Amino acid sequence: MEEQKKLLKDRGLEVLRVLGEGAFGRVFQVRNERLGVMAAKIMEESKFEYSEWQAGIQLTRNVQNPFVLRYHEATLNGQNVLILMEYSNMGDLEDVLESKKDIPIPMIRVIMKHILEGLKIMHEKGLIHRDIKEPNILLHSPPGSGRVILKICDFGLVKKQQKGGVPVAMSFGGTPGYFAPELIIAAARGTVAASGKVDIWSAGVILFHLAARDDPFNSVPEMLQPLARPNTIKDDLLWDLLKKMLQVDPNDRISAEQALKHSFFTSKQAMKEISPVGMKIAIASQQAKKHGDRSVTFYDEKPTFTLPLVEMKQFTKKDPEADQQYQQQQQLGQGQGQGRGRHQQKGRSPSPAPGQQHHSNSHSNSPKPKQGHFQRDYHQGNRGGHHQGHQGGHHQGHQGGSPDPMAGQDRFTVPNPMTDDYAKMLIKVITGGHRLTQQQVNSILAQSLPILQALPNIIDVNVPDGKEITVVGDIHGQFFDLQELFRVNRGKPSNFHPYIFTGNYVDFGSFGAETFLILLCFKLAFPQHVHLLRGQHESEVRTKEFGFKNEIEDKYNNATYREFLRVFNALPLCAVINHRAFVVNSGLFSKPNVGLDDIKQINRQVEPESDVGEKLMAQMLYSEPMEEDGVKMKTNSFGCQFGPNVTNEFLNKNNLQLVIRSNTAKSQGHSVQHSGKLTTVFSAPSFVRDSDKGAYLRVLGQNLEIHPYKFSSVQALPAKMYFDPITCRSQ
């Protein structure tokens, strides 16, 4: 930190205090004689897309508008990037959403006017923001003004738009939950082109959050359907504006300029609902302008743009008056202490101003919009425009409040032994749109291999009476759906929340690497409570055919792919719960009288398709149940079809009660066959056409009762496809 303070001092900046620290940097409140109080963000250049940010700041230099945060400069100083920006003293719009109070329509009206006015000027200048969301809308109260201004921030993804609003090609970026449908459709086709209308869509999502305290869509297919009006939105004009902002076709979507002329803002009712306090503030601004106050803007005189501080303070814990008083005390202390602040004279670090809590406050646990498909918790990583560390437009820093579990550690060095905190941090990195580094991938695979190789073919799992274990079926690279499963199932794997995963982690979906690596992290962190079984698709034959090989060679290299195969070969083949439930990826055997002892003797650390002799391992990964008795060998496959009599014989032979399997897609995520003795679970929603359901099982320890739970697909980051569903070939 001292080196960073010296860097600021050398730039003629007086450090007032630290505002926040994140995974990728530190933010200071600083003062300059000419520019006044600012925020200064310092990050390591290796962990930050400096060129993108510098380009974004250059593009926005000519945007002079109170609703767009002003960035003074982005400079590279040795290994550090320094960004100087306008200081904002009241947090961000997500702080308002996190309050427990309903936001009144008049306040929503002014909030949206500020956002749309900022977008209007950006679009007039030919700029697309591309990452409009609540954490990128900062709140600021100019000292002594009595009002609050919303400011659009975070220009790391800004793109120059062609004249006439013609869609422009761009790299994919932004935050899931706020993506416009044209971005998702274009990305799926391998090209991304968009106009400023993508910002209007994102602003419409914010409006829905403010009005309904919920997410507007539960899935991508639902996004493409006409917007359904929730019971919580009573205002007809607001609803009409929402529909116009959330039009699927960007050509039908309203522009920022058109939105500001909408009746929601201009009707007689809207004029009647202007806050009396806001009216007084506007009149005072008009009088001040008459008396020569050049700081008064056009918007200050308009009561329709006035957001009274006294009203906004009900929705945020930030106190701008206390912040201003603190700055004044610091300035006075600098004079009295011969260059040291009042809090520094006795060797103490500066304390936050009352109510500021180091400016970033704590991340409230109060209710948020429904934790559904567009849940911001895991999709964006953290909050706060310039308040936390930042990487390339996706917030990854720690949010104040509870201690950062990774503080002081190198985020790019995988801990050994693995920790739960590190696994969760990686989830935030992935959901923020970043790949794991080659070093991280190598380390996770290297740690996992000996752990898995030491395990037996059959994992004995004990679930005590009164407890339960979750069994998860096929995932197939649907990383974001896996996170949704964790959410609806009350949590990620832990010592108190055991899981069995039946395999088929990769292929078909675009995030096979991330899915499998995160599960390996949880296995390493909780080795006795997370069990990863081998699936049919954890093999060289399948991954060459269905996309995973291409995925790894595209993201990393062939050597990394070979390391994945080594880990696949080390995965156990099955599990037995409480000596009664047999859990396997696919099925049973064509040969009669196969016992658990036979399975224990299999050499599993080879490719299943090369399994010699009776091919027991291959059949465990390829066989499927059928309704009639008997066995039928499958053509062009390594398995068989087996009937109820085969299931009964296997269970009786091994003193078991039931079989739990996966590897067969189900429209509702699960099915029961063979007189209730065989259950199939499939946990990749939207895999089956015309269905977005997946399922998982909770198995009770006392009597092995199985309780299936369905969940729906969620919006994922658009990504390159490595398997073509049309040709059914790897691509």
Residue 163 DSSP symbol: G
- Tell me, yes or no, if 537 is annotated catalytic: yes
What are the distances in angstroms from CA 107 to CA 102, 238, 312? Answer: 10, 12, 9
Closest-CA residue to 132 (of 196, 208, 199): 199
Give me the residues paired with residue 395 across strands: 390
What are the two backbone dihedrals, phi and then psi, of residue 182, each rounded to the nearest 5 degrees? -65, -30
Cβ(560)–Cβ(442) below 8 Å: yes
Catalytic residue among 390, 398, 529, 537: 537
Residue type, 443: S
Is residue 301 helix, strand or coil?
A: coil
Write down the H helix ranges in 274-355.
276-290, 309-312, 320-336
Query: For the stretch 86-124, what's the b/e string if a residue is b when 16 or more beta carbons lie within 10 angstroms of its beta carbon?
Result: bbbbbbbbbbbbbeeeebebbbbbbbbbbbbbbbbbbbe
41 is in an annotated binding site: yes
Q: What is the rounded distance in angstroms from the CA atom of residue 650 to the CA atom of residue 158?
A: 61
Contact partners, residue 690, CB within 8 Å, separation at least 6: 667
Give me the residues paired with residue 670 across strands: 681
Q: What is the rounded distance in angstroms from the CA atom of residue 16 to the CA atom of residue 353?
A: 11
Expressed in angstroms, the distance from the first to the final Cα of the chain is 48
Q: How many CB atoms lie within 10 A of CB 713?
A: 23
Q: 368-371 long-range CB contacts below 8 Å, 24 or more apart?
A: 368/97, 368/98, 369/97, 369/209, 369/212, 369/213, 369/214, 369/215, 370/213, 370/214, 370/215, 371/487
Cβ(234)–Cβ(249) below 8 Å: no
Cβ(301)–Cβ(286) below 8 Å: yes
Contact partners, residue 127, CB within 8 Å, separation at least 6: 59, 60, 63, 158, 159, 160, 161, 196
Cβ(511)–Cβ(716) below 8 Å: yes
Q: What is the rounded distance in angstroms from the CA atom of residue 530 to the CA atom of residue 523?
A: 5
Closest-CA residue to 504 (of 454, 469, 546): 546
Contact partners, residue 164, CB within 8 Å, separation at least 6: none
Which pairing describes strands 127-128 and 80-86: parallel, antiparallel, or unpaired? unpaired
- Indicate the helix (H) or strand (E) that contains 83: strand 80-86
Q: How large is the C-alpha radius of gyration of the chain?
A: 29
For the chain, the residue count is: 731
Binding site for ATP, by residue number, is 41
Active site members: 537
Binding site, by residue number, is 41
